[in-house]
């Protein structure tokens, strides 16, 4: 029997890529003329509220608006149009990545790790990213298709990343011994709880509080600086 390999699992949006890919695809749909600007106005308004930091919940509310948009627009466009927008977003954002996570992927691949991705963005663009960065497996949002159109039914891994990770590790006979996980939001917590070496990367507040309470490694990348924080008993962190 083949010897088990260790693995590293990454969230993609805001963890490897500096933006949210499903947001980028939505923008591309507008840019390519597949969504009318007036239909997209609610998203633009919500995005500005978030950018102005008018509420601690503004980013979550913005994402809710974006999810609503997808439900509405997928029925109005063809699969072909969506794939064109996904390609357009990939071309623009594929190399707009964080140095820390990009280099960590390269380092761990060199050590023989399997590299996995679990993302809430659409499979169409995550597949391109996974291929570009040499991931061994990935799971993303799946929108059901019929002929050249979407049915309105979809599945997403973001609420059960722990279950998805266990299935992925099983498929590849991957070992949890030495496993690494990197995420930035609350939907990554279940995934990070499973791995031996969880890393909260540029964490939102809720993930930061969980990471601090459990002494997980915290990494912040800002401009051209990377700050690695490691727990030193209790709630105290030191700059590694």
Tell me, what CATH number does 105's domain have?
A: 3.40.50.1000
Average pLDDT estimate for 206-233: 91
**157 within a domain of the structure (yes/no):** yes
The average confidence (pLDDT) of the chain is 90
Q: In which domain, by residue range, is 160 found?
A: 5-18+95-239
Vertex 169 angle, CA 108 and 7, to 5°: 10
Amino acid 48: pLDDT: 77
Q: Averaged over 131-135, what is the pLDDT?
A: 97
The whole-model pTM stands at: 0.90
Q: How confident is the model at residue 54 (pLDDT cuts 50, 70, 90)?
A: low
Give dist(CA 54, CA 56) in Å, integer. Answer: 7
Distance CA(91)–CA(85), nearest Å, equals: 10
pLDDT of residue 240: 66
- Is the pLDDT assigned to residue 161 strictly greater than 90? yes
- The answer to whether the CB of 17 falls within 8 A of the CB of 129 is yes
Average pLDDT over residues 27-32: 90
pLDDT at 57: 67
Per the structure, the count of domains in the chain is 1
45 vs 187, more confident: 187
At 225, is the pLDDT very low, low, confident or very high (cuts 50, 70, 90)? very high
CA angle, corner 125, sides to 62 and 13, nearest 5?
45
pLDDT value, residue 58: 64
Q: Tell me what pLDDT residue 230 has.
A: 79
Whether 209 is in a domain gets the answer yes
* Within a domain: 43: no
Q: What pLDDT sits at residue 35?
A: 83
How is residue 71 written in tokens?
């439900």
Residue with tokens 């995934």: 191
pLDDT (average), residues 88-96:
96
pLDDT of residue 2: 67
The answer to the question of residue 131 being in a domain is yes
Residue 130: pLDDT over 60:
yes
Q: Is residue 158 part of a domain?
A: yes
Encode the chain in three state secondary structure.
CCCCEEEEEECCECCCECCCHHHHHHHHHHHCCCCCCCCCHHHHHHHHHHHCCCCCCHHHHHHHHHHHHHHHHCCCCEHHHHHHHHHHHHHHHCCCECHHHHHHHHHHHHCCCEEEEEEEEEHHHHHHHHHHHCCCEEEEEEEEEECCEEEEEEECCCCCHHHHHHHHHHHCCEEEEEEEEEECCHHHHHHHHHCCEEEEECCCHHHHHHHHHCCCEEEEEECCEEEEEEECCCCCEEEC
Tell me if 82 is assigned to some domain: no
* Phi/psi-derived region of residue 202, left when phi > 0, alpha when psi is between -120 and 50, beta in every other case: left
Does 75 reside within a domain? no
| Residue at 41 is within a domain | no
């Amino acid at each position: 029997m083949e010897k088990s390999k260790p693995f590293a699992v990454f969230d993609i949006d805001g963890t490897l890529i500096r933006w949210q890919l499903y947001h980028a695809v939505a923008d591309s749909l507008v840019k390519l003329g597949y969504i009318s600007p007036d239909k997209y106005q609610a998203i633009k308004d919500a995005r500005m509220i978030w950018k102005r930091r008018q509420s601690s919940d503004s980013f979550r509310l913005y994402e809710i608006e974006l999810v609503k948009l997808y439900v509405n627009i997928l029925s109005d466009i063809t699969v072909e149009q969506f794939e064109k927008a996904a390609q357009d977003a990939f071309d623009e954002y594929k190399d707009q990545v964080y140095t820390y996570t990009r280099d960590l992927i390269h380092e761990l691949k060199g050590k023989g790790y399997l590299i996995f991705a679990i993302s809430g963005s659409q499979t169409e663009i995550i597949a391109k990213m996974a291929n570009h960065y040499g991931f061994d497996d990935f799971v993303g949002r799946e929108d059901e298709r019929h002929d050249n159109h979407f049915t309105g039914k979809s599945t997403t891994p973001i609420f059960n990343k722990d279950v998805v990770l266990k299935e992925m590790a099983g498929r590849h006979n991957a070992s949890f011994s030495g496993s690494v996980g990197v995420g930035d939001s609350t939907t990554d917590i279940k995934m990070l709880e499973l791995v031996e070496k969880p890393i909260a990367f540029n964490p939102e507040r809720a993930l930061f509080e969980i990471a601090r309470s459990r002494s997980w490694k915290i990494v912040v990348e800002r401009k051209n600086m990377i700050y690695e924080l490691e727990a030193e008993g209790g709630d105290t962190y030191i700059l590694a």
